[in-house]
Chain A
Amino acid sequence: DAGITQSPRHKVTETGTPVTLRCHQTENHRYMYWYRQDPGHGLRLIHYSYGVKDTDKGEVSDGYSVSRSKTEDFLLTLESATSSQTSVYFCAIRPGTDLYEQYFGPGTRLTVT
């Protein structure tokens, strides 16, 4: 499974609290992505990274920030969680510039109450 782990796998938090999700990869891939998946919306890109400290926004980036201080870790932060951010979050990696397929982590189910 491309050596991708996500933590935590499940989390319940209250509205207004900060939350950080971690994506860790073991194979030094340059490109990493954060998606959210909701019924009726499929997978939507939140943020992505194309190198250490190099990140950019996706289509649903409002309310989220990311950081990548090391190649292997890509962090997604919800500064002040809202109920609309209840979702399943997937991290993905892309192996290289000539290979476009993405490989996904197992996902984090986040519930904001």
Chain B
Amino acid sequence: GQQVMQIPQYQHVQEGEDFTTYCNSSTTLSNIQWYKQRPGGHPVFLIQLVKSGEVKKQKRLTFQFGEAKKNSSLHITATQTTDVGTYFCAPGSGGSNYKLTFGKGTLLTVNP
């Protein structure tokens, strides 16, 4: 599968600060998904990016796919305590038997 490096592994912020996690690949990705997992919970799908340079927003979350489709980022503006969790990027393989390869995730903690 396609391997990605996610950085940072951990990020601790004060409530109200911004947060960004990055997902980097050495190869061109066909698409990438982002998931959030709350402590003790299961991964929850957030978004899928397909096009080069694509930017999508969900309220305070902004997702980007690099022009070369080798990297992606998730930016959270003005973090809240509800943003706590691990954020995973997951590039997908092509074809009908579609598989995801998950990055190791970025654990975000927010100090109120």
A, B assembled together: yes
Q: Which residues of A contact B (CB under 8 A)?
A: 31, 33, 35, 40-45, 48, 50, 56, 58-59, 90, 92, 94, 97, 100-107
**Closest CB of chain B to A96's CB: distance in Å?**
10
Tell whether A59 pairs with B1 under 8 Å between CB atoms, given A40-B104, A100-B31: yes
Interchain CB contact under 8 A, A103 and B45? yes
What separation, in Å, do the CA atoms of A44 and B1 have in the docked complex? Answer: 11
Interchain CB contact under 8 A, A100 and B42? no
Interchain CB contact under 8 A, B100 and A97? no
Closest B residue to A56 by beta carbon equals B97
Interchain CB contact under 8 A, B99 and A44? no
Beta-carbon contacts under 8 Å, B28-60 to A: 31, 33, 41-45, 48
Interchain CB contact under 8 A, A90 and B102? no
Starting from the known contacts A50-B96, A90-B42, 8 additional A-B residue pairs (CB-CB under 8 Å) come to A31-B98, A42-B88, A50-B97, A100-B33, A101-B48, A102-B100, A104-B42, A104-B44
**Closest CB of chain B to A85's CB: distance in Å?**
19
Classify the interface of chain A: helix, strand, loop or mixed: strand
Closest A residue to B43 by beta carbon equals A104
Interchain CB contact under 8 A, A100 and B92? yes
Closest A residue to B97 by beta carbon equals A50
Give per-residue flags for B58-101: 1 if the beta carbon is below 8 A from chain A beta carbons, else 0: 00000000000000000000000000000010101000111111
Question: Can you report 19 A-B residue pairs in the complex whose CB atoms are below 8 A from each other?
Answer: A33-B99, A40-B104, A41-B104, A42-B88, A45-B99, A45-B100, A45-B101, A48-B99, A50-B97, A56-B97, A58-B99, A59-B101, A101-B33, A101-B45, A101-B48, A103-B45, A104-B43, A104-B44, A105-B42
What separation, in Å, do the CA atoms of A106 and B88 have in the docked complex? Answer: 17
Determine the chain A residues whose CB is within 8 A of the CB of B101 once the complex forms: 45, 59
Closest A residue to B33 by beta carbon equals A101
Closest B residue to A4 by beta carbon equals B42
Determine the chain A residues whose CB is within 8 A of the CB of B42 once the complex forms: 90, 104-107
**Closest CB of chain B to A42's CB: distance in Å?**
4
What separation, in Å, do the CA atoms of A42 and B33 have in the docked complex? Answer: 15
